[in-house]
Amino acid sequence: MGGIVSDSRNHTSPPVPDPHGATRAEAAPRAANRSERRLLFPEGPAVDPAGSHHERRIRSFRPRRGRVTAGQGEALRRLWPTRGLDIDGRSTLDLDTLFGGLPVVLEIGFGMGEATARMAADDPGTGILAADVHTPGQGNLLALAEREGLTNIRVANGDAIILLREMIEPGALAGLRVFFPDPWPKKRHHKRRLIQPEFVTLAADRLRSGALFHCATDWEPYAEQMLEVLTACPELENTVSGGGYAPRPAFRPVTKFENAGLGKGHRVHDVLFRRR
């Protein structure tokens, strides 16, 4: 009981700096608080879309802080009503209608969205449902998608675990991407890691046969955990014959967090499984 997928004891953590590094030159003087954000983006992403119904759970993400630049704010105000959706956990998504019948890949934790936009541009025949809680990143990805004329991206705001559990039907997804999830290196925070048995069982259920479940990390102990947990899931098989890590596929661009990890001398591992 009390794992990351099911509701659990309320978890609060101290404020942390914005890990995404908003452009300071363009940034507003300080991050808006909850009520200010509601005023700034009345038709934009909700502050706590799932509300108290899903409040009591362990979160795999840090509190949603960070400065929204003028460009990101403008994109949120203008594009959210047609390109965004709040993860409120209250209804099942009609992916066919949302993506005009394209096969749909869910990306959890797109950060600032550059890699997401690149992959969407390279593969216009696939719909990308991109989920994160980070408001500046949501604005950034919406702006990128518009600038590049990408019609195959929808931005989902909130906890992707609720999205998977409450809003996506079994076998509905053509793929799942989790690139450089927060590594939660301290032992007492390991329970906040996204890739755990309960989550992987849920995710495998939402994937259709043949779908790729693709993770990557620059944190060695987390890579080992990913490999172990995905290998133990009977519905998944490693795309690497004989098991182990996969080389980075050409279709996955180097991400922002990956670059930061590489700069620190970290080794990057891709874990690439297929739904049986």
Contact residues toward ligand SAM (CB under 6 A) are 60-61, 108-111, 131-134, 137, 159-161, 179-182, 194, 255-258
Query: Rounded to the nearest 10 degrees, what angle do helices 135-147 and 70-83 cross at?
Result: 80
Q: Which is nearer to ligand SAM, 49 or 137 (CB)?
A: 137
Maximum pairwise Cα distance, the chain: 54
Residue whose Cβ sits closest to ligand SAM: 109
Taking alpha carbons only, the member of 128, 123, 134 closest to residue 173 is: 128
Q: Which is nearer to ligand SAM, 232 or 262 (CB)?
A: 262
Q: Where are the alpha helices (DSSP H) in 148-219?
A: 160-162, 197-206
DSSP-derived 3-state class of residue 178? strand
Q: Which is nearer to ligand SAM, 60 or 140 (CB)?
A: 60
Residues 150, 133 contacting (CB under 8 angstroms):
no
> Which strands form 207-217's sheet, in the order they lie side by side?
84-86, 153-157, 127-132, 104-108, 173-179, 207-217, 269-275, 236-238
**Nearest distance from C-beta of residue 165 to ligand SAM, angstroms:** 11
User: Do the annotations mark residue 228 as ligand-binding?
Assistant: no
Q: Which residue has the tokens 């309320």?
A: 10
Tokens of 159: 């906890």
First to last CA, the chain: 27
Q: Which is nearer to ligand SAM, 73 or 137 (CB)?
A: 137
**Nearest distance from C-beta of residue 276 to ligand SAM, angstroms:** 25
Tokens of 155: 């931005």
**Nearest distance from C-beta of residue 24 to ligand SAM, angstroms:** 18
Q: Which is nearer to ligand SAM, 60 or 72 (CB)?
A: 60
User: Do the annotations mark residue 48 as ligand-binding?
Assistant: no
Tokens of 228: 């172990």
What CA–CA distances, in Å, run from 262 to 16, 219, 254, 256? 22, 11, 10, 10
**Nearest distance from C-beta of residue 195 to ligand SAM, angstroms:** 11
**Nearest distance from C-beta of residue 112 to ligand SAM, angstroms:** 7
Which residue among 94, 182, 205, 270 is the active-site one?
A: 182
User: Do the annotations mark residue 107 as ligand-binding?
Assistant: yes
Alpha-carbon distance 181 to 61, whole Å?
9
Active site residue 182: yes
Residue 221's H or E segment, with its range, is: helix 220-232
Q: Which residues are annotated as a binding site?
A: 107, 132, 159, 182, 186, 218, 255-258
The binding site for substrate consists of 186, 218, 255-258
Active site residues: 182
**Residues marked as binding for S-adenosyl-L-methionine?**
107, 132, 159, 182
